[in-house]
């Protein structure tokens, strides 16, 4: 049986334009963004995005139904607010170019 929540989660996360939202999801799902090792300058080494994304999907799949719904709601609301920001930015650019002529 397909997990309808997972399919919706993948669709919503693919619309996500804000890396902070993705990092927040990873943190909520307890997916590490950096490796345990440090580089030669003693800075944490970032993990590959593909590995993080796979771990986020696996963690989401393992979550209970209530948690999945909460995460989907947050992600959907975040995407809607960013869509509104993009539309406002597009409108402000259009009015600016119209007044400059």
Predicted local confidence at residue 32, as pLDDT: 95
Residue 78's nearest CA partner among 25, 4, 26 is: 25
Mean pLDDT calculated for residue range 54-82? 88
For the residues 4-18, what does the mean pLDDT come to? 80
Please give the structure tokens belonging to residue 79. Answer: 């995407």
Strands in the chain per DSSP E: 34-38, 44-46
Least confident range of 20-24, 33-37, 84-88: 84-88
Would you state the structure tokens that stand for residue 6, as one six-digit string?
């997972």
pTM recorded for the entire structure: 0.70
Neighbours of 31 (CB within 10 A): 20
């Amino acid at each position: 049986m397909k997990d309808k929540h997972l399919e919706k989660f993948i669709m919503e996360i693919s619309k996500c334009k804000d890396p902070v939202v993705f990092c927040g999801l990873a943190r909520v799902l307890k997916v590490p963004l950096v490796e345990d090792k440090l580089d030669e300058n003693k800075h944490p080494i970032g993990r590959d995005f593909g590995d993080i994304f796979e771990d986020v999907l696996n963690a989401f799949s393992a979550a209970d139904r209530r948690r999945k719904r909460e995460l989907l709601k947050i992600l959907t609301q975040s995407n809607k607010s960013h869509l509104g920001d993009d539309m406002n930015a597009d409108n402000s650019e259009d009015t600016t170019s119209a007044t400059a002529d």
